Amino acid sequence: MRVAQSLRGGVLLLFLACIPAGCIGVAIIAATGTASANVFSPGGVGAGNINNIYPFDIGDIGLSSQRYQQVYGSSDFGSSPITITGLAFTPATGFTAPFSSVLPNVDISLSTTAAPVDGLSSTFAANVGADSTLVFGGPLPLSSAGIPGVFDMVIPFTTPFTYDPERGNLLLDVENFADGTTTHFGTELASGDTVSRVVADNDVNSPTAFTVDTAGLVTEFVTVVPEPSSIAALGTAIAGLALLRRRRKRRVAPNLHRPRSASRCSAARPASRSVRPPFAQIACNLDQRAGSSRPGLGRRLNEHYKREGPDREHAGHSVASLALPSAIVYHSMFQTASGPPQASGLM
């Protein structure tokens, strides 16, 4: 088996997440179902060791129609399911003339078969698997630049076929209902390789084959490798960035409740210590002292004071009614004309 890998499409998605610690870029290739890992069977033989006209160049020797089946050993396809979207063939060695033609009417089917390589039944129906799928039907255009070893005779499928090598070998079933001329195809004829065939040479409707041998077209299978969709990739990226941001936010959360700056509080401080500062000044000083351990206490006291009014003695009752554990701090921050400030401290 020889595998050719490529990425025939896809979108590069770049995410830039900025957090206080810096910026993080996340790049994702969101595949659009175009990554391929083409399989050659039999592998490693180039254009093969013989030339062959079956099943497409039958008009070259005057045949009117043909039924052709070829089996490919599962060992050429690995162990994972693949989706086959087309076939490609190469001109045989020595056949270098370019050509382009359209075969009038061809049906191509694929299925998973229980028949072994070099063990196909001469009865066509006995080889066909339960998952038989018509992958192409109708006029078949074929062309080549005439370079042996280059697989440029491509047949794109109208219906893809998903093949699981674990379930059996792969069967190619071609019904050529009319004649046609192309070039000779690269073919491998070797005992113990991974291909073999059965053919009804000149009767597409025959239930049995006239030719049974171990030859087989050297074939490139155009396949699609399963990839995550772009939406799934995008969702994964967004989820990861959201988690990163959440963790970062948890680490910095305690610092979000910073005390008010000293300059803002001192700007409203009265010149004389014998004059009680405005209540907003008291609340601001409290926020400075409490810091992040009790965020917002000064603000709560100030709002309560506005509701209750300034007539209560130094707002002591306001503090008590809030049941705040730092009441002694609030009370200590009052300066009266009749006495010194009370003791201060956090409780």
User: What's the confidence (pLDDT) of residue 35?
Assistant: 58
Ranges of each domain in the chain: 1-33+227-256, 40-219, 259-332
Q: Specify the amino acid at residue 262.
A: A
- Please state the three-class secondary structure of the chain as a single string: CEEEEEECCCEEEEEEEEECCEEEEEEEEECCCCEEEEEEECCCCCCCCEEECCCCCHHHHCCCCEEEEEEECHHHHCCCCEEEEEEEECECCCCCCCEEEEEEEEEEEEEEECCCCCCCCCEHHHHCCCCCEEEEEEEEEEEECCCCCCCCEEEEEEEEEEECHHHCEEEEEEEECCCCCCCCEEEEECCCCCEEEEEECCCCCCCECCEEECEEECEEEEEECCCCCHHHHHHHHHHHHHHHHHHHHHHHHHHHCCCCCHHHHHHCCCCCCCCCCCHHHHHHHHHHHHHHHCCCHHHHHHHHHHHHCCCCHHHHHHHHHHCCCCHHHHHHCCCECCECCCCCCCC
User: What's the confidence (pLDDT) of residue 236?
Assistant: 65
C-alpha to C-alpha distance for 151 and 87, rounded to whole angstroms:
9
User: What's the confidence (pLDDT) of residue 75?
Assistant: 97
User: What's the confidence (pLDDT) of residue 130?
Assistant: 98
User: What's the confidence (pLDDT) of residue 16?
Assistant: 46
User: What's the confidence (pLDDT) of residue 343?
Assistant: 43
User: What's the confidence (pLDDT) of residue 3?
Assistant: 53
User: What's the confidence (pLDDT) of residue 151?
Assistant: 98
User: What's the confidence (pLDDT) of residue 37?
Assistant: 78
Block residue for tokens 């491998």 = 188
- Tokens representing 161 are 């076929």
Q: Using 70 as the pLDDT threshold, list the residues of the chain that sit under it.
A: 1-36, 225-347
C-alpha to C-alpha distance for 280 and 317, rounded to whole angstroms:
17
